[in-house]
Copies of this chain bind each other. A is one copy, B any other.
Amino acid sequence: MWFAAVPAGADWWLVDSAGFRPACTDQKGMNMSGSDSGRCDAYLGRNAANYVPLSPLSFLDRTASVYPEFTAVIHGSRRYSWAQIYDRCRCLASALFRRGIGYGDTVSIIASNVPELLEAHFGVPMVGAVLHAINVRLDPASIAFMLEHSGAKLLIADTEYSDVIAAAAGRMQTAPEIIDIHDQNGSGGRRLGSQDYESLLQEGDNQFAWRLPADEWDAISLNYTSGTTGNPKGVVYHHRGAYLNALSNALGWNMGLHPVYLWTLPMFHCNGWCFPWTVTAMAGTHVCMRKVEAQAIVDSIREHRVTHFCGAPIILNMLLNAADDIKVGFAPPVKAATGGAAPPEAVIEGMEKLGVELTHLYGLTETYGPATICSWHADWDMLPLSERARLMARQGVRAFLQDGLTVVKPGTLKPVPADAQTIGEVLIRGNTVMKGYLRNPDATGEAFNGGWFHSGDLAVRHPDGYIQVKDRAKDIIISGGENISTIEIENVLYRHPQVMEAAVVARPDDYWGETPCAFVHLKASGAALNTQDVIHYCRERLAGFKVPKTVVFGPLPKTSTGKIQKYLLRERAKGLEDDE
């Protein structure tokens, strides 16, 4: 109705009865007199007094000025105040600048969760450059590809990964200059560069007059997706999105000022879901962590009074499976945000006993990390465990400052009914969706088709509007016209005490079209299982048409980052003989 009445022409928004003219949006945003188009009142436009580009760099500036003596970073025996971290970031920016690194240049870094990686989240964009943090578990070929594709001008590299870095550099025609991070808390490794990080900082000026980006749309970072096939895609983030997602994290998680944040989530993973910027905005303390192990997590939480941490379910499992003597309950409870897979009942129960309050998030590299949050309602606390687990298994609602979330019939923009049954594709829209894929207009155009970001994940909508992810689009099985979620079957298999890992894929079938085929890796210690045992176990817990028709035992193929390669399993399922 509103839409219908607005004239379609470009100028409807100039109609103005009281002087509220549209913005004289000057691209530089910095001069109030230079942009008067003659049709709008320039004096109500942007100027240096009333417009400042949104950038998470502002958070560091404010926190360092208001709380200069507060503890910013703890790493082993190293401690930095906010004044010191700000100085170090300015020294880094200044040193980069003196080397000629500036607007639009890429600075790559490969490191564990050490202070240097945190500092790079500020020092690199302070000169207008783009931070490219590399997954430390990647193989040399992937790293070489990313360094070349991103046009990295410099590589800051933790000596712990010197072997793989040297191998990657060896594959490149022209490898970037390397600056070594030589961390006392590290496990050694070789120096590959001519200089280390601390001496680089010493080249810089701690009063360096960095500035905000000219445009909040400027790139701040680059994160490669770890696709299971093909070359990784370079996801570009901008200052505006990083700023908003950083605040969204704090607001949606009800984080509060001065959190003590433990770095169990890799900072190279979607820029640590933007938490390097969040924790800085909230004037918290970053507790770094090189080796993520149960003992170290528990010790850090106790020693530094950690209030928050994030991580994939493996972090929670690590705590759950830790020896009893290190598992003494935390008081006050610690808040943990988890994503990647829904926390199952056993994990929720175990975390409750341990004093860890879980929040379930969902997102993708393309959404700066969290795009949805399973916002908890206080009255759900009273429900029995199984019911709480059912509610928490849902990926939830749009994140605090995310603008749009829907689940649509694939190939359309029509939302599926909120019936908890009908599966559709998850679409996301908002300021915390990427700029696009670097040097890949085709993939970018496809991802943004119809004015929404297409996640490639399939989900249902519950009657209360919360969404629940059922499968990746390419993984879903269609059997006799019914959608079958491979995640649902895998969740059942994982609950079997003898199953270590499981993956389910579609197997072509003349009659049904496809049927579920389960690949199962058993625990070494347990009793042997056969196909009938697995099918019987599933039949008791799943609708008949979802029960795997085929079961294959053995280890599962994985990428260097630990993702199960379902496309290889699909090929194997396709090639199975009829009687298998």
Contacts and interface: CB of A to CB of B under 8 A. Distances in A.
B2 A62 contact: no
A528 interface: no
Contacts of A215: 13, 22-23, 25
A331 interface: no
Contact of A208 (B1, B28, B32): B1
Contacts of A10: 28
A65 interface: yes
Contact of A441 (B41, B62, B94, B151): B41
Q: Chain A interface mostly helix, strand, loop or mixed?
A: loop
A33 B131 CA distance: 27
Contact of A254 (B23, B32, B257, B433): B257
Given A17-B151, A441-B41, A209 B2 contact: yes
B97 A1 contact: yes
A30 B450 CA distance: 11
Contacts of A51: 431
Contacts of A165: none
A66 B18 CA distance: 36
A431 B18 CA distance: 23
Interface stretch (A183-191, A337-345, A397-405, A504-512): A397-405
Interface in A98-156: 102-106, 127-128, 130, 150-151, 153
A404 B52 contact: yes
Interface stretch (A42-50, A472-480, A486-494): A42-50
Interface in A1-54: 1-3, 5, 10, 12-13, 15-23, 25, 27-28, 30, 32, 41, 43-52, 54
Given A66-B375, A66-B465, A130-B20, A25 B251 contact: no
Contacts of A18: 104-106, 130, 150-151, 438
Contacts of A441: 41, 43
Given A97-B5, A103-B15, A431-B50, A20 B65 contact: no
Nearest to A283: B375
Interface residues of A, number: 100
Nearest to A21: B104
A256 B378 CA distance: 14
A2 B104 contact: no
Contacts of A30: 451
A26 to B, nearest CB: 10
A49 B451 contact: yes
A323 B220 CA distance: 58
A444 interface: yes
A439 interface: yes
A444 B218 contact: no
A328 interface: no
Nearest to A31: B451
Nearest to A447: B49
A210 interface: yes
A403 B254 contact: no
Contact of A22 (B47, B217, B430, B452): B217
A356 interface: no
Given A50-B433, A103-B13, A130-B18, A251 B254 contact: no
A563 B528 CA distance: 86
Nearest to A258: B378
Contacts of A21: 104
B251 A3 contact: no
Given A18-B104, A104-B16, A217-B23, A247 B236 contact: no
7 closest A-B pairs by CB: A48-B451, A23-B217, A18-B151, A16-B104, A20-B219, A50-B433, A52-B403
Interface of A: 1-3, 5, 10, 12-13, 15-23, 25, 27-28, 30, 32, 41, 43-52, 54, 58, 62, 65-67, 94, 97, 102-106, 127-128, 130, 150-151, 153, 205, 208-211, 214-215, 217-219, 236, 238, 241, 247, 250-251, 254, 256-258, 281-282, 375, 377-378, 397-398, 400, 403-404, 428-431, 433-436, 438-439, 441, 444-445, 447-448, 451-453, 465
Given A49-B429, A62-B398, 19 more contacts: A1-B94, A1-B205, A16-B103, A17-B106, A18-B106, A18-B150, A19-B438, A19-B439, A20-B130, A22-B217, A23-B238, A25-B27, A32-B448, A44-B236, A44-B436, A50-B433, A50-B436, A62-B400, A66-B397
